[in-house]
Structure 1
């Protein structure tokens, strides 16, 4: 099914406004969710809108937060999101990092007491579109084991980077630090399928092919084992520790514990490329790098080498007016929007 971008944005924005959100904040939230949806990142798109509304109704997501600066120096700031919408806090955090970078060459902004911010690549791209190299990251609730450990100890803390290209479409990577997403494990469980033994550990810390262990004493495995674990610790320090926020142990699940404040922390980093190599020189060198990478020999004649983010931008171009959504996203939207209103923005395809 496809939905019309503008109409679904208007409906989603109105749904958040009815819960007390400021119009500008509601619009920012829908812009982020729709961009993720258009890029094919459905797990972090419109599917989550209903959960955010439920958190507002539970009193664990503040619809009208007062974002405050709690610390600042020349090139760094810490913001308190006042338990508000993660997308709004993240956009403000990256805008702050961009502002600092334009002034000092580089800027870093931490945000504490926020909520799930969705797809981090959206915020990194926000800066890359303004000639920046950027990173966005967040801590999460514990869902991943540490090497040699048993159970969920640390989050699969996501991080993203982005840099600009001359054609306007950025190069970007947006990943969590577990070997796979919990969403894929839950899907395998629903379909009665086994999973690779590199994805999940059972309640004794052993690799398992049974997805049912997730949420029942099992834990996600880090990507690259000690590598993913080490990077997850780095993200934790750059977000919760530097901001004075809650470490992963004290961050409840944003979607499985709707009745608890999420209190996630984020980090946003930007470098003004013009103040270093100069933007034109940067384009020349990154294009040289891209040509070299894409000249790699391929296993088959019909294989194309893609830069990080190229697949997502291809999806985005296809979804610029009508956004294609999978069935599970449609189901979540129908919980929130009346049947008659939802049908007005749909294009039914056979």
Structure 2
């Protein structure tokens, strides 16, 4: 598929202008832009600027508050609940992680649950905020119900990603950032744009039969949990997804399970909500609360080196450290630019015309 490459600065200016047109204060527009661009830089194209139109459509439906009063509504010395006031998750989530980090700086750990928020971008962005302070970062969110639990033929859970990030010494952080579904919905969207089939085990049709059609969700099908089916461990993915849903929403007062509002504007939220908005959960743990930071980093470096030197089945392959491919993408794209496939560029240019801002290109 044809793609067009843009500098980080060009995409950053464009994205910021979109959020300003939405009515976001300049500081919020800058922050939301940084979260989205981090996704594109790290090679997670499904969660970057390709999502801009989705945020605008939700804002037009008055389902995103561009000027939220994000605030702590309940707390103890080490925990807090944040009300996002319907704001962009791209703004609400960093606020909440900052609260967790501030509590951890004083007490060793900080834990924050969030309600009344929206899609927060990639989980890795928020977890890495803690790594910058020599802390272990934890970030997770629930999401629109697209996933059928093991044995079910009903959408009850989101892709519900979770991320754990660890500071290393001479190596990049170890970042375990993953959906608890067999694949994130964004992966299906990428396959749709490229007109390619999806791997078997990612989705099932409306009758519960496995499918390789990337448009299956639009036809009433559902995504499958991590593990695909019971014979391949889907109960484990289902369990992880359930854990995310409980920590992010049942704990915070957000909507959970099938009551989570959809990210797409053409679908209305459930008429019988059990909470407020989408939920997130964040944790920050000071490494020196367990052992000297230098010791931890030295041993994590040793861990990385040992795993990278592992014998492999295929001598042309090597063990990949979690977060390593994304770090490599970021180093390369900061220099050579960020590619956008033709359908995404067309969508963004249509958005520019609609908002009255400069197009990215023809």
Check whether the contact 1:151–1:217 (CA below 8 A) recurs between aligned residues: no
**Structure 2 gaps, min length 5:** 228-233, 271-275
**1:133-148 alignment runs, 5 A limit:** 133-148=136-151
**Structure 1 gaps, min length 5:** none
Q: 1:246 aligns with which of 233, 241, 255?
A: 255
Q: 1:334 aligns with which of 349, 352, 357?
A: 349
Between stretches 84-93 and 144-153, larger displacement belongs to 144-153
Question: 1:257, 1:93 → 2: CA distance?
Answer: 29
What's the secondary structure of 1:107's corresponding residue? strand
Per-residue Cα deviation, 1:117-170 (whole angstroms, up to 9, x for no partner): 111011111111211111100011211111111121221211111011123621
Q: 1:131 aligns with which of 120, 130, 134?
A: 134
Question: 1:120, 1:96 → 2: CA distance?
Answer: 16
CA gap 1:37/1:185 in 2 versus in 1, 3 angstroms: closer
What's the secondary structure of 2:251's corresponding residue? helix
1:105 aligns with 2:105: no
Between stretches 272-281 and 5-14, larger displacement belongs to 5-14
Question: 1:77, 1:270 → 2: CA distance?
Answer: 12
Query: Post-superposition shift, 1:191?
Result: 6.1
Check whether the contact 2:143–2:159 (CA below 8 A) recurs between aligned residues: yes
Check whether the contact 2:86–2:277 (CA below 8 A) recurs between aligned residues: yes
CA gap 1:30/1:210 in 2 versus in 1, 3 angstroms: closer
Query: Post-superposition shift, 1:305?
Result: 2.5
Check whether the contact 1:38–1:319 (CA below 8 A) recurs between aligned residues: yes
Check whether the contact 1:114–1:265 (CA below 8 A) recurs between aligned residues: yes
1:325 aligns with 2:339: yes
1:282 aligns with 2:299: no
Check whether the contact 2:189–2:214 (CA below 8 A) recurs between aligned residues: yes
Question: 1:139, 1:129 → 2: CA distance?
Answer: 25
Q: 2:57 aligns with which of 54, 59, 62?
A: 54
Aligned-residue CA RMSD in angstroms?
2.3
Greater relative contact order (CA < 8 Å, ≥ 6 in sequence) = 1
Per-residue Cα deviation, 1:197-236 (whole angstroms, up to 9, x for no partner): 3222222323334445323332111112000000111001
Query: Post-superposition shift, 1:331?
Result: 2.3
The residue aligned with 1:230 is 239
Query: Post-superposition shift, 1:188?
Result: 4.7
Query: Post-superposition shift, 1:285?
Result: 1.4
1:268 aligns with 2:271: no
* TM-score, length-scaled by structure 2: 0.88
The residue aligned with 1:8 is 11
* TM-score, length-scaled by structure 1: 0.91
What's the secondary structure of 1:234's corresponding residue? helix
What's the secondary structure of 1:314's corresponding residue? helix
What's the secondary structure of 1:222's corresponding residue? coil
What's the secondary structure of 1:214's corresponding residue? helix
Question: 1:130, 1:31 → 2: CA distance?
Answer: 18
The residue aligned with 1:299 is 313
What's the secondary structure of 2:103's corresponding residue? helix
What's the secondary structure of 1:281's corresponding residue? helix
Q: 2:75 aligns with which of 72, 75, 94?
A: 72
Query: Post-superposition shift, 1:192?
Result: 6.0
Equivalenced residue count is 345
Check whether the contact 2:116–2:277 (CA below 8 A) recurs between aligned residues: yes
Per-residue Cα deviation, 1:282-317 (whole angstroms, up to 9, x for no partner): 012111211221121123443232211111111101
**1:71-220 alignment runs, 5 A limit:** 71-167=74-170, 169-186=172-189, 188=191, 194-220=197-223
Between stretches 68-77 and 245-254, larger displacement belongs to 245-254
What's the secondary structure of 1:326's corresponding residue? strand
